[in-house]
């Protein structure tokens, strides 16, 4: 049997984030299968050369999760030096290996932990400070783990079928008609679950009132053209424009930092004609936005951008 190709490697510091790493491992094994997730104390059998096993699996993976808790940066060794500064420290060494082999490196910040700055890190892993992170909060662990799974599948789309490959017999045993019903039902469940997740995530993000303004306006273009939305640098003004005079209208949905989680809506103001609509906020800031093109008669959405977190 050949070595695994692709997969997720969980990097953590025991004294700082062992419980969180175990929680992540359990969720990812359920989603992707045991062979596609590596956690040292579960994945290395007794008596095996752990250095060869660990480095071999790391180099074969496509995603490294760096689990960062409140003490990740400050824990010291017997000499009083920071562990993260020691090139022989395994947390440090695994990150170096991942960066060297061009893995997707995703920091996972536990509760109130912060992403280390470049000057806080040794030079050979300073790049970690520029990697987009995700949160894992105890109170919202189900929501945050769902987001983490989504980010992993975006980073390595080949991981998506892993769950299905673990159950070939059950899939083949279904007659075609039943299989179609299962697929249709599953798609509906995923759609509903995805809607709940997006709404929950946006509520949490909307509570962050201290997020600074952007350095430049944010512009979202419809995938097929025909309209766009623009949010200014202060994130207090949103403009939605329909650039085509056809039977379609353009609108935007957005959330703001007032803690309510309400999804606001704005249209281009001109129905099927070209034109623009505008909303202005007095105190709160816009924290996320989506743009959609819809049929002016039925008001059904025809195409939408992904939600953009600002």
CB 113 within 8 A of CB 137: no
Instruction: Dump pLDDT digits (tens) for 263-296.
Output: 888 887 666 566 788 888 888 899 889 999 888 7
Alpha helices in the chain (DSSP H): 14-32, 40-43, 50-60, 90-100, 141-155, 162-165, 168-173, 176-206
**CA-angle at 229, arms to 225 and 232, nearest 5°:** 145
pLDDT in tens, 121-131: 999 999 999 99
Burial of 229 (0-12, 13-18, 19+ CB in 10 A): buried
pTM of the predicted model, to two decimals?
A: 0.53
For 80-94, what is the mean pLDDT? Answer: 94
Closest listed residue to residue 231, CA positions, set 280, 296, 294, 160? 280
DSSP structure class, residue 109: E
Contacts of 194 by beta carbon, 8 Å cutoff, 6+ apart: none
CB atoms within 10 A of CB 290: 20
- Helices (H) and strands (E) counted in the chain, each on its own, are 8, 14
Write down the pLDDT at residue 161.
Answer: 41
Nearest-CA neighbor of 253 among 297, 204, 198, 212?
198
Q: What whole-number percentage of the chain has pLDDT above 90?
A: 32
Res 188: pLDDT: 53
What's the mean pLDDT when you consider all of the chain?
Answer: 80
How far is residue 125's CA from residue 289's CA, in Å, rounded to a whole number?
33
The model's confidence at residue 172, banded by pLDDT at 50, 70 and 90, is very low
Do residues 147 and 108 make contact, with C-beta atoms less than 8 angstroms apart? no
Q: ∠ at Cα 142 (137, 146), nearest 5°?
A: 105
Superfamily (CATH H level) for 8-159: Toll/interleukin-1 receptor homology (TIR) domain (3.40.50.10140)
> Which residues are CB-neighbours of 72 under 8 A, at least 6 positions away?
13, 16, 17, 84, 91, 113, 116
What is the residue extent of each domain of the chain?
A: 8-159, 174-310
CA-CA distances (angstroms) from residue 9 to 28, 63, 66, 94, 258?
Answer: 10, 6, 9, 9, 37
């Amino acid at each position: 049997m050949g070595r695994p190709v692709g997969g997720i490697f969980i990097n953590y510091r025991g004294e700082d984030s062992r419980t969180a790493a175990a929680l992540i491992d359990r969720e990812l094994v359920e989603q992707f299968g045991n062979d596609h997730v590596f956690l040292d104390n579960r994945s290395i059998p007794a008596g095996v050369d752990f250095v060869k096993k660990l480095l071999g699996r790391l180099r074969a993976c496509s995603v490294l999760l760096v689990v960062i808790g409140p003490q990740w940066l400050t824990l010291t060794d017997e000499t009083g030096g920071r562990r993260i500064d020691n090139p022989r420290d395994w947390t440090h060494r695994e990150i170096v290996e991942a960066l060297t082999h061009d893995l997707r490196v995703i920091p996972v910040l536990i509760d109130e932990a912060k992403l280390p700055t470049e000057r806080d890190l040794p030079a050979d892993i300073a790049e970690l400070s520029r990697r987009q992170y995700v949160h894992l909060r105890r109170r919202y662990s189900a929501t945050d783990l769902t987001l983490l799974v989504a980010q992993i599948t975006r980073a390595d789309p080949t991981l998506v079928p892993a769950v299905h490959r673990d159950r070939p017999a059950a899939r083949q045993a279904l007659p075609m008609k039943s299989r179609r019903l299962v697929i249709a039902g599953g798609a509906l469940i995923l759609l509903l679950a995805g809607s709940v997740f997006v709404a929950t995530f946006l509520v949490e993000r909307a509570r962050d009132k201290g997020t600074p303004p952007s350095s430049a306006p944010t512009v979202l273009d419809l995938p097929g053209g025909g309209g766009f939305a623009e949010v200014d640098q202060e994130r207090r003004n949103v403009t939605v424009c329909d650039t085509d005079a056809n039977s379609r209208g353009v609108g935007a949905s957005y959330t703001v930092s007032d803690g309510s989680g309400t999804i606001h809506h704005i249209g281009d103001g001109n129905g099927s004609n070209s034109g623009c609509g505008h909303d202005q906020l007095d105190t709160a800031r816009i924290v996320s936005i989506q743009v959609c093109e819809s049929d002016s008669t039925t008001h059904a959405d025809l195409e939408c951008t992904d939600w953009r977190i600002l």
